[in-house]
A and B are shown apart, each in its own frame.
Chain A
Amino acid sequence: MITETAGVTEGKGLRHELYSYSGEAQFLTGVMSFIDDALAAGEIVLVSVPEQRERVLRERLTGSEPRVVFMDTSALGRNPARLIPAWQRWISERAEEGRPVRGVGETDWNGRGVAETAELRYHEWLLNLAFAASPAWWLLCPYDTDAVAPETMRAVGRCHPFVLESGTHRQSTDFIQEPFAWDELEPACDPFEELSYGRGDLAAVREKVAACAAPYGLRGDRLRETLVAVTEVAGNSIVHGGGHGTLRTWVQQGTLICEFRDGGVIADPMIGRRLPASRSLHGRGMWLVHQLCDLVQIRSTPESGTIVRLHIALPSL
């Protein structure tokens, strides 16, 4: 089936398209039409969808179709900040083959809390920015309206310039090109531990976090990874955030949260979400933090400074 394309102009960058569906049948209809169009145009399709969706797509794609490539996202974990660099890597690898690329990207929404939902929404907004100057490619984002809350659907609708609806690809009337509007951070859980830190206090920061994590069984490699992450963020406060900051730690719903506040401003909305460039060794600290933590929340304004929250899932005891 070839779908209609309305109001589409070819050009550079990402064509970022929302596909709202209900149930497996609608998923297959929309996504298969997108794949069929791509294959008819001689394009490669990269597919990154939850396991259940991948299974039904594979069943539908009779025979082996080398131009449809399923991307394994399991190694990326749950932090949505790892998705943009993954797409960048996948796209650049395929672009070297000289073929136009399309993508299908759906997130597994099972078990996502308030913080993760907000970051996924931000990820959708950032995609437009991240690929604004990239070679032209087309990403279809299927959203299961049975699994995603209506207010979240409305919010992600504002982040997609295009939609696939009733078999037609068209510009979205809901898309709003404006700075991202953050929700308020959830308040810190009481009780929380607090530590003021400055130059020479990185060991104290690590001690505080290790002490908070120890009763919950965080140890070994995962504890060391956590300590690397908190060292990076506290070190940023000292170097870039006015020389000092405040750490708060608490445990909430099986997650260790380490919050850092300082007087600095992070102006780059993409901080830590770009693949490290070989030409520069600087600016890799927040990249490492995103790779090590299950979720990273950054809020930064000239008026109120910077808050960085690191989420580390605790082992089940």
Chain B
Amino acid sequence: MRKSGVMPTLDLVEVGEHVCWIVDPLQGYTAATSAFLADGELFGDKMIIVGSPLDPHASPRALRDAMVVDPRSVRGDGSAPDMSSVFGLVRREADRAGRQGYRALRVLAVMDQLVPPDVGTDVLIDHELRMDELVADNAAIMVCAYGRDRFGAATLDHVACVHPRELGNGHSGPSFRMFNSGPDSWTVCGVVDSDGAAAFGAALAAAAALSPALRLRLDDLELMDAAGMRALVEAAAGTSVRRITVEGANPTVRSCWEMLGYSTCEVPVELTP
């Protein structure tokens, strides 16, 4: 079972983890990046930085063994970024890393340099869920760095929702997280309320695009309000969804679902024990 929640430092990152790093302007990338790369060297990971060197003063040693990918080479020339090329690069390198004898692929994606700030949360959520499925299914570690001063607070909150891990202190983090937990299976933990319902709906739509018959694991979901359940029903009514099977919901989620009349509605959502 994958870990979720906030981690105070990247030193603790493990293979299979997908981390959201919201970088404060004054924090800078240097210290955390250097430690991240040094750990990669220590563990024998293949390291990739998608983006230009993060800090003009970064020590050559820190970057010595990392493959630095020019963001222009993966984002394309169109007005909208081509996120599939980033995904393709990571998937390719994850395959190669195993064959080349590395323990894992360790990726730092500098999102500031990959996508414009107005890219739209739906695009980012779709990209991050695809990445999450890839990381969960491969020997890979992925850290996605988003500059706090480059993206809006709402965008950052939505993006954090689709990473199982987040670098930060114990008080930060979104109300819920959704991440891959196996083939066609996604775990939702925390609280889905009206603050997070839009992000939840976008995440469901993105996950449905990956697998039309979705399984949602709600074992660690504390509660879901009416807005969250509406988002679930609306996602299930989407054209790309065949069925959403909800597993492990607590009695409160189940009774609220019934009270709201969804258990008798003709929506392709099934709550199973």
Contact = CB atoms under 8 A, between A and B. Distances in A.
A199 B154 CA distance: 11
B110 to A, nearest CB: 27
Interface in B219-270: 222-227, 230, 233-234, 250-252, 255-256, 259-261, 265-266
A199 B256 contact: no
A203 B191 contact: yes
A161 interface: no
A227 B255 CA distance: 14
A224 interface: yes
A284 B226 contact: yes
B193 A281 contact: no
Interface in A127-158: none
A84 to B, nearest CB: 15
Interface stretch (A7-15, A174-182, A184-192, A232-240): A232-240
B223 A224 contact: yes
A235 B227 contact: yes
Interface stretch (A30-38, A57-65, A66-74, A285-293): A285-293
Interface in B62-110: none
Contacts of A232: 225-226
B223 A228 contact: yes
A13 B233 CA distance: 34
Contact of A278 (B195, B222, B230, B261): B261
B6 to A, nearest CB: 14
B175 interface: yes
Contacts of A200: 195
A288 B227 contact: no
A297 to B, nearest CB: 20
A125 B226 CA distance: 28
A235 B252 contact: no
Contacts of A288: 225-226, 256, 259-260
Interface string A260-304: 000000000000000110100110110110011000000000000
A202 B256 contact: no
Nearest to B197: A235
Contacts of A238: 194
Nearest to A225: B252
B193 to A, nearest CB: 5
How many of chain B's residues touch chain A, expressed as a range?
A: 20 to 34
A276 B259 CA distance: 9
B261 A231 contact: no
A183 interface: no
B261 A276 contact: yes
A206 interface: yes
Given A231-B194, A291-B259, A285 B252 contact: no
A221 interface: yes
Contacts of B234: 281
16 contacts: A200-B195, A203-B191, A224-B223, A225-B252, A228-B223, A228-B224, A231-B194, A235-B194, A235-B195, A235-B225, A235-B227, A276-B260, A281-B233, A287-B260, A288-B260, A292-B256
Contact of A221 (B227, B251, B265): B251
Given A202-B175, A202-B195, A284 B250 contact: no
Contacts of B223: 224, 227-228, 231
Instruction: Tell me the dominant secondary structure on chain B's binding face.
Output: mixed
Interface residues of A, number: 26
Contacts of B226: 232, 284-285, 287-288
B198 to A, nearest CB: 12
Contacts of A284: 226, 230, 260-261
B260 A202 contact: no
A228 B256 contact: yes
Given A228-B223, A238-B194, A278 B260 contact: no
A235 B193 contact: yes
| Residue among B224, B251, B255 facing the most chain A CB atoms (10 A cut-off) | B255
Interface string A212-246: 00000000010011011001100100110000000
Nearest to A229: B225
A285 B256 CA distance: 10
A250 B23 CA distance: 40
Nearest to A239: B194
Contacts of A235: 193-195, 225, 227
Contacts of B194: 202, 231, 235, 238-239
A281 B260 CA distance: 9
B153 to A, nearest CB: 8
Contacts of B265: 278
Nearest to B194: A235
Given A202-B193, A203-B191, A281-B230, A228 B260 contact: no
A225 B253 CA distance: 9
Nearest to A206: B191
Contacts of A224: 222-223, 250, 252
A231 B176 CA distance: 14
Most buried by A among B175, B222, B226, B255: B226
A231 B250 CA distance: 17
B18 to A, nearest CB: 23
A294 B190 CA distance: 26
Contacts of A285: 225-227
Contacts of B261: 275-276, 278, 284
Interface string A34-68: 00000000000000000000000000000000000
